[in-house]
Structure 1
Amino acid sequence: MTTQHTESSWQALIQNTESVHGYKLMSVLGEGRFGIVYKAQRISDKYFVAIKFLKVWSVPDHAQANLIKRFELEFETGQIASQYLIRSIEMNQLEGIPYFVMEFCSGGNLERKIDSGISLAESLDVAEKILTGLQDLHMNGKIHRDLKPENVLFDSAGNPKLTDFGISGHINIQLTVVNNEGKPEQIFGSYAYMAPEQLSPVKRKNTLLPTIDIFSFGVLCYEMISSKLPFGPWETHDDIDPYIRNASKGDFVPFESSLKLDPTWKKIIAKCLSSDREKRYQNVGEVRMDLKGQHFSNDNMPCTSDFKLRILDGEEYGKLYEVALERTICLGRRSSSVKNEVVLEETISNYISRRHATFERIGNGIFIRDGQWNNKIQTWVTSKNGTYVNGILIGSLAGHHLHRNDIITVGNTSIKIY
């Protein structure tokens, strides 16, 4: 349980606190609805850091547990080893108020850089480095879901680093905060950068896929290169509806003919901005293929009969299954009517089928197929929401040959294979 605070009592607490667990608090770097970030200095060695406090009182009591879980997962996401992700250092509490310490970036954010003028060459360099950061996130089963210029910071060497993983793709942290009547209260993220399916409740089950971030990446690249947003103006409240309508049709304003942009980049950005998720790049590796003719290398080895499955998000975050596969193993939602060897808990949403997927050994290889055989009706039954490997929808016939470090997505749960 957290200590009960009002905003005024919390501010008084901070104002009267000079240091927290070895860190001296300095100036406020930024504040949002759910958190406030301070610049701070480690007392032992004068090392500058940023400290993010969670405003637990900003949501109703019933929503606080999920908010705190989201905060913890944001900290854990920051522990992914990457040159282009803000690094988490440690987590603690101040009289019941959770906070975590993270890397401080002195170079400002991408929004300021765009406003002050960014060259075409620098824009493309930043874009490639952001791709690497996204790849590192996606390889660990995380989807950023709020990629925008404010969430790209620059260190003292000028390297861009992605930050604000508070709405990364976890079942525990839905896109909405629910009010006392159970109705959505707020959609996270910035509308101007959100993929059409992210704004559509009907398609929200797909918001755990890399295609969400790839759309946002396209918007961000377009803005860096042209200093404008792709789907029209975004200056007043009246601009929102037409902008979103244009985005839903993929109807972006063409680049000016005078712009000396490589045709390859024009093709990449256009494909990223496709309104149809299935026509977009399905993962960062595909973008890299078009950009430089090569995928990001993961040094993946084919999966053999003995492998491990780790739950990277969902209601059983961190759970590990050790599998010794002789012929087939079934995966699905917990159910009294279906026996699965890999059982996934899902009580918040309903996106995982009882008969969701099947692992099958064929020769020396391990394959995954969507759906399962149903003995009762003597037919193969596919899942209702599909099975994805590295963001790509797989079928129920040939299946997909699995490799180490592949990311399997079923509903709102991502699983990494080792």
Structure 2
Amino acid sequence: MSEGLRVLVIEAETPAREWLRHHIHVVWPTAQFTELAPAAARGMPDEFGGGDFDLVVLSLDEGREAALEWLGRYARRPGFPPVVALARGGDEALAVRAVKAGAEDYLPLERLRHDGLVAALRQALASRRPRPATHGAGLPRGWQTRETLHAGEFSSVLLAEHADSGETRVYKLLQGGAVELDAGLLYARFLAEYECIAGLEHPNVVQIHDIGVADDQAWIAMEYLSGGTLATRIAQGIAPDEALAMARGIARGLLAVHGLGVLHRDLKPANVMLREDDTPVLIDFGLAKAMRSEQAITSPGMIFGTPWYMSPEQGHGAPMDERSDGYSLGIMLFEMLTGERPFHARTPMALVYQHRNAPRPALPPTLAEYQPLVHRMMAAEPSARFESTAHLLMALEAAA
């Protein structure tokens, strides 16, 4: 898991959450945590598929029956991440009920030690096998699956190779059953990824080759980028000049898509791939939205995106423009320069609050020359940021 283990922790007690974070970080130092109180988890929408997480740790202590009901509602869905259940003062009967409801394992907290926790989490992660690679099922004639890159509840991403030419492409497939669940919303979001940037050829934007339907699956074919993600590169450490070069490349990609009247809306290191020569490339336009569209896919006030990098206006469901993507790039530049995200919180809503209200953190003294640039990119008010992506790119080029 090169981008870091993504863990959803549903636990009411702060000491228990801190204990889990500590012991998981010992083994998975780049792990990313989203923490929810049990009451908040019970308020999740019915369509929650867990695709943003690799693992769920669920406490059964607060509202035991409600927690077991939550487990039964979600855990056995196709593509849902493995769930490890925890409880204080439980017994064998509770363990059986948890496993029957869908948990991969049940752990009594009062007897739990580091080795036992890690062993249980490793076993749970190993149980989440990707869907077996098929030989062309759902793909156009002549294409064969070489590797399953991602398998979720509603969609999968395959690395495919052409039997004759040897050309490689990435195919993103939407399962037929997903379209049946909501023929308007899910399919519209899937098609948006193609419609937003179809025909655009730019070195900093993933090239979309084609779209089609086969074997009751819709698919999008795009270029294969072999250099890994920017998230992985950040974990390895990035020199300041390289960070600025990455930011300039990303800004050029944004300038191209903004020129089409499109916002990305989910800009984050995991959505930036690298070519073999380290050129950054924007991917995953599944949340993209036409800036002037009169028929938005999402309803007013609905929030989609990644809270770590989300602009204040997006976090509050307010109107967005190209400065919102520029804000996300500012968060990413801060992280590239320092190796740390500028804001930290235990819940998504707490992160949303910080983006709007918290003071902008200072860069280390050795990076002080970049402080005005980064602070302007990360300004809470859009009016205090660079007025356009073109102006932002000029500022990044001037900082070279």
For the aligned pair, the TM-score class normalised by the smaller chain equals 0.5 to 0.7
Correspondent of 1:251 among 359, 364, 387: 359
Structure 1 position 167, deviation (Å):
1.2
**8 Å CA contact retained: 1:218, 1:269:** yes
Partners of 1:123 and 1:12 in 2: CA distance: 36
Q: 1:188 to 1:33 in 2, by over 3 A?
A: farther
Structure 1 position 70, deviation (Å):
2.7
SS in 2 for 1:252: coil
Q: 1:59 to 1:279 in 2, by over 3 A?
A: farther
SS in 2 for 1:90: strand
SS in 1 for 2:173: strand
Structure 1 position 28, deviation (Å):
1.4
Match of 1:222 in 2: 334
Correspondent of 1:69 among 184, 188, 198: 188
Map Cα deviations across residues 173-198 of structure 1 (whole Å, 9 max, x no partner). 5346x9xxxx96xx421011111111
**8 Å CA contact retained: 2:133, 2:147:** no
Instruction: Write the letter of the residue equivalent to 1:282.
Output: E
Partners of 2:185 and 2:347 in 1: CA distance: 33
Correspondent of 1:276 among 370, 381, 391: 381
Structure 1 position 21, deviation (Å):
2.1
Q: 1:244 to 1:42 in 2, by over 3 A?
A: same
Partners of 1:92 and 1:14 in 2: CA distance: 20
Written as runs of structure 1 = structure 2, the 5 A alignment for 1:14-163 is 15=134, 17=136, 20-32=140-152, 34-55=154-175, 57-58=177-178, 61=181, 63-76=182-195, 77-163=197-283
Map Cα deviations across residues 244-293 of structure 1 (whole Å, 9 max, x no partner). 22211252221111x235x2x32121111111122222211111333346
Instruction: Write the letter of the residue equivalent to 1:116.
Output: Q
Structure 1 position 153, deviation (Å):
0.2
Match of 2:69 in 1: none
Once the two structures are overlaid, the 10-residue window that deviates more, 191-200 or 13-22, is 13-22
What are structure 2's unaligned runs of at least 5 residues?
1-76, 80-129
Map Cα deviations across residues 116-157 of structure 1 (whole Å, 9 max, x no partner). 222222111111100100000101111000000010001122
Q: 1:78 to 1:153 in 2, by over 3 A?
A: farther
**8 Å CA contact retained: 1:143, 1:210:** yes
**8 Å CA contact retained: 1:49, 1:103:** yes
Q: 1:152 to 1:291 in 2, by over 3 A?
A: closer
**8 Å CA contact retained: 2:230, 2:269:** yes
Partners of 1:50 and 1:34 in 2: CA distance: 17
Instruction: Tell whether 2:307 aligns with 1:191.
Output: yes
Match of 2:114 in 1: none
Instruction: Write the letter of the residue equivalent to 1:196.
Output: P
**8 Å CA contact retained: 1:88, 1:101:** yes
Bigger helix fraction? 2
Q: 1:163 to 1:111 in 2, by over 3 A?
A: same
Partners of 2:230 and 2:213 in 1: CA distance: 30
Structure 1 position 67, deviation (Å):
2.5
Map Cα deviations across residues 346-386 of structure 1 (whole Å, 9 max, x no partner). xxxxxxxxxxxxxxxxxxxxxxxxxxxxxxxxxxxxxxxxx
Map Cα deviations across residues 193-224 of structure 1 (whole Å, 9 max, x no partner). 111111213x2xx22x1011011011111111
SS in 2 for 1:132: helix
**8 Å CA contact retained: 1:108, 1:153:** yes
Correspondent of 2:297 among 174, 178, 185: 174
Instruction: Write the letter of the residue equivalent to 1:68.
Output: Y
What are structure 1's unaligned runs of at least 5 residues?
1-5, 295-418
How many corresponding residue pairs? 268
Bigger strand fraction? 1
Structure 1: which 4+ aligned runs deviate by more than 6 Å? Answer: 11-14
SS in 2 for 1:260: helix
Partners of 1:157 and 1:243 in 2: CA distance: 34
Q: Give the aligned CA root-mean-square deviation in angstroms.
A: 2.8
